[in-house]
Structure 1
């Protein structure tokens, strides 16, 4: 901590010159602070021709949107860099490349993705990337299989569970996913008109029991090295390309959490689309989003099973049929965590552009109502939704 200092724009340029790996470091002359998140400073570094070349990201020792009254560990920068490096080893085509990181300064330099767009923004605007869902499923399969007990040596796995213990960031997840949306809490941010619906979440004993079980799994099931925050705002897309960024919430947890978080954000967008686009365009985009949900799961499941058949190292876990049985457990977990993601993004603090960009207040309330109702359904019915087709049918029934 003694070496830590908060970067200025000029500091970011100097650092990029040292560690950006560009052929002519002195050509880097300007930086622009682009971070819109809650935890970090993010600088885009430009050369003399105005072309952005690399990204410099520095963790702040507090939650940015709250201030120094909510302190955070700087070790999350190490965790983020190392998670992305490991994920990049197994899925380089879909993981942002880390060029350098310094744990003392809590700073990293990474590849510039200016040729890509943030997937959430594209979905909000109705722009479709047909290959992205399959690519996301591939990322999830590769990263989660290769860091699981199916592939890792038990000694390495146990050491890595310790190495990636991330208590402060996990505490944020535990509060925002499993506690605050089901309580009267000052950080919650739902429309006041929906108070009766939100109050019914707090009063639903069966729902609260299911959420308790999901939280327990998040706390105790160290199945693989998770990204920990897979959502459409942490994914960059271009024609034929997808890159995942922002892994500071990474830790060893239940595989279904990453998968469910990804699916949940697709379903939030599905619920929001009638408030974002004209009726015909919204209907078309909704069908594409349901296709993305199905494709993401199928790509992940097929990829995981193929890897298990080819690469499982543990003799017991290699038993024929076990990987498929385990995949059913992942599916049930994914549905439950998907439901908590939908609810926390509509009831809790972490609101998303899909909802915030809806201008008509009545329409926004209806979209949020549908999302909350869907999230509740997925949590309660996770054990009874057999496959992706059954999930799509449930979503359609929800409205």
Structure 2
């Protein structure tokens, strides 16, 4: 079954049967469960069983837009290889890839039915205290083991070549750093914040900062990134966490992954009418960063490179990662408010006036993070985040 075709449920069942080496007598059922922007996702399980296997297939275009925006199917192979690599560095928190078929642009993944998407849990008012700490550990592990703190020069350059993902990362470059900062046709700007968007598009000091972040995204190949680490790419349960969906991964600045996750927690903050819920998101951001910082510091202090093992340098390096992260967080907040892909946290707000307040909050906080990234520490985030909220 090596010739590419867009799967239906029966195709997904046949692929899972072959990939998982299931006997012909096993009765399987399958259904599509995906609601993402890019791919098809099916759950296949034995009749009568609640869990089984996940089949993910890349389409030859961006699903949420259609055939007018074609997209390489090779992203499925790249994603599988990144997940396998991240799984070697941090198997506890990375979804397991059980099989991949590059010709079908498909992979077989472990079924995480007992977990739920973290974004949905946040929208439901559920709090998983371990999740930010676990994510910090995950990101520190996968970043360290793909960086020059762990790999020698030749090994890291070989990895940068192996995991090159120019087509997907060029899309990231466009939707993060170009489209949201001009009146682009791909943008999705609500009428109620059109004036806010136009002021932002005319903000030259902001554009200079964004240009620096864009340039670093292309040139600062520090680690093998997940590339799209938002709360919809994280599955959670009590004491458990798994990271999924790494098709936008590739080598880039560590602060990008850190910042995207921070931004999505702050976008949830912007959607919250309750001050206690807002403060909890700040605590989540702080716990995430402190976990990443602590774990990376421990790993980097054991590097074989005596120059990079210098404690003062590691501390300075992590300060720069934090500053980068705040800048990238600001870009993510702005692009999720003005760009092609929004977040349910804000888009699902039923009250139109409250929705506008939340959108303006996201834009103001995003701009503040970009413009003042070199002046803020994690202890100041609550004051800054609450100060940026507009009056109703």
TM-score, length of structure 2 as denominator length? 0.96
Q: Is the 8 A contact 1:21 1:99 kept in 2?
A: no
Q: CA deviation at 1:72?
A: 1.1
Q: Is the 8 A contact 2:221 2:253 kept in 1?
A: yes
What CA deviation, in whole Å up to 9, does each residue of 1:302-331 have, x standing for no partner? Answer: 000000112x13232122321111101101
What CA deviation, in whole Å up to 9, does each residue of 1:23-55 have, x standing for no partner? Answer: x67435111111111211110112111423010
Match of 2:331 in 1: 340
What CA deviation, in whole Å up to 9, does each residue of 1:77-123 have, x standing for no partner? Answer: 11101111111111111100000101111110000000000000111
Structure 2 Cα separation of the partners of residues 359 and 301 of structure 1: 38
Query: Cα gap change, 1:26/1:58 in structure 2, threshold over 3 Å: closer, same or farther?
Result: farther
Structure 2 Cα separation of the partners of residues 325 and 73 of structure 1: 39
Structure 2 Cα separation of the partners of residues 226 and 353 of structure 1: 24
Match of 2:381 in 1: 391
Matches within 5 A, 1:147-226: 147-226=146-225
Match of 2:356 in 1: 365
Work out whether 1:17 is the aligned partner of 2:17: yes
Gaps of 5+ in 1: 275-281
Q: CA deviation at 1:3?
A: 2.8
Structure 2 Cα separation of the partners of residues 151 and 26 of structure 1: 47
Q: Greater CA deviation, 176-185 or 3-12?
A: 3-12
> 326, 336, 353: which one pairs with 2:317?
326
Q: CA deviation at 1:21?
A: 5.8
What CA deviation, in whole Å up to 9, does each residue of 1:316-370 have, x standing for no partner? Answer: 2122321111101101100000000111111111111101110010110001010
Q: CA deviation at 1:71?
A: 1.3
Q: Greater CA deviation, 24-33 or 297-306?
A: 24-33
Query: Cα gap change, 1:28/1:257 in structure 2, threshold over 3 Å: closer, same or farther?
Result: farther
Q: What is the DSSP-based 3-state SS (H/G/I as helix, E as strand, rest coil) of the residue aligned with 2:129?
A: coil
Structure 2 Cα separation of the partners of residues 144 and 236 of structure 1: 20
Gaps of 5+ in 2: none
Q: Is the 8 A contact 1:124 1:273 kept in 2?
A: no
Query: Cα gap change, 1:348/1:26 in structure 2, threshold over 3 Å: closer, same or farther?
Result: farther
Q: Is the 8 A contact 2:301 2:310 kept in 1?
A: no
Q: Is the 8 A contact 1:260 1:334 kept in 2?
A: yes
Q: Is the 8 A contact 1:218 1:254 kept in 2?
A: yes
Query: Cα gap change, 1:207/1:102 in structure 2, threshold over 3 Å: closer, same or farther?
Result: same
Q: What is the DSSP-based 3-state SS (H/G/I as helix, E as strand, rest coil) of the residue aligned with 2:67?
A: strand
Query: Number of aligned pairs?
Result: 388
Match of 2:269 in 1: 270
Match of 2:118 in 1: 119
Match of 1:60 in 2: 59
Q: Is the 8 A contact 1:94 1:244 kept in 2?
A: yes
Match of 2:74 in 1: 75
Q: Greater CA deviation, 259-268 or 85-94?
A: 85-94
Match of 2:92 in 1: 93
Q: What is the DSSP-based 3-state SS (H/G/I as helix, E as strand, rest coil) of the residue aligned with 1:328?
A: helix
Structure 1 Cα separation of the partners of residues 244 and 25 of structure 2: 27
Q: Is the 8 A contact 2:282 2:381 kept in 1?
A: no
Structure 1 Cα separation of the partners of residues 27 and 172 of structure 2: 37
Q: Is the 8 A contact 1:152 1:313 kept in 2?
A: no
Alignment RMSD, CA only?
1.3
Structure 2 Cα separation of the partners of residues 185 and 315 of structure 1: 48
Runs of 4+ with >2 A deviation: 24-28, 313-316
Q: What is the DSSP-based 3-state SS (H/G/I as helix, E as strand, rest coil) of the residue aligned with 1:369?
A: helix
